[in-house]
Amino acid sequence: MKEIGEGSFSIVHRAVNRMTGQVCAVKCCKISAALEEEERLLRTLSHPNVVSLEGVYERNKDLHYVVMDYLKDGDLCDLLIERQRLPEPETRRIIRQVVEGLAYLHRRCVLHRDIKPENILIHGNIVKIADFGLAKELAQPTSMLKRSCGTLEYAAPELLCGRPYGLKSDVFSLGIVMYVLLFGAFPFSVESAAALQCMDHFPEGVDVRDMSCLSRSNVQWRT
């Protein structure tokens, strides 16, 4: 196995199934209640734009090997570091697939809670949502949560301010991702939840004409 990534609680390796020759990603992590919940949730999911769980193996009582899709081109954060920003057609192709995956999750009442470039993986022209460590399965589509979590720069205002939030918070996060892909920067600087609440205009220097690609009337978005 070859190490390809490391997080706060896990190490990810690239591996090959000796029986099938298929390349896969193996996440080595310590067993916890949160990990077991993530594994349980992933077992119930199946969509082309959501990372697949191939299997879970116990090395001992304290360590799990979680086998998942291997997406050879890394994540959107890697792509942004390399290219700074993306053209509209490429952004549209990527976001459309994330929307498909997110719509599937929301139909199943699954709130991801950490939509950001690092959690959107790429394999050629295929894009998949990954990392369900903070995901929560809701009782119904209108259910709301209160505990704040996720990544500050991509979090919805209601989440940052400690108010109840639901499935729409994922949509807000995806909007920030789309902006970052197009402009190579965040739409605002989040120094506090209050600052985010007060923001009602684009930062000075941003050409809002470039935002035409976000309009619902733009025929390029129609399928």
Domain coordinates in residue numbering, the chain? 2-69, 76-215
Topology alike, domains 2-69 and 76-215: no
> How far is residue 44 from each of residues 12, 63, 68, 141, 168, measured CA to CA in Å?
22, 22, 14, 17, 22
Q: Is 27 annotated as ligand-binding?
A: yes
Q: What is the CATH number of domain 2-69?
A: 3.30.200.20
Alpha-carbon gap, residue 151 to 10, rounded angstroms: 18
List per-residue pLDDT tens for the chain, 223 residues long: 666 666 656 788 788 878 788 888 888 878 778 878 888 999 999 999 999 988 888 777 778 788 888 888 889 999 999 999 999 999 999 999 999 999 999 999 999 999 999 999 999 999 999 989 899 999 999 999 988 888 888 988 888 778 899 999 999 999 999 999 999 988 876 555 445 555 555 455 544 444 444 444 554 444 4
pLDDT of 223 reads: 40
- Quick one: pLDDT at residue 30? 80
- pLDDT computed for residue 209 by the predictor: 42
CATH code linked to domain 76-215: 1.10.510.10
pLDDT attached to residue 15 = 83
Q: Which of 114, 170, 207, 210 is catalytic?
A: 114
pLDDT at res. 80: 93
Q: Is 73 a catalytic residue?
A: no
Task: Catalogue the long-range contacts made by 158-161 (C-beta closer than 8 Å, 24 or more residues apart).
Answer: 160/190, 160/193, 160/196, 161/193, 161/194, 161/197
- The reported pLDDT for the residue numbered 101 is 97
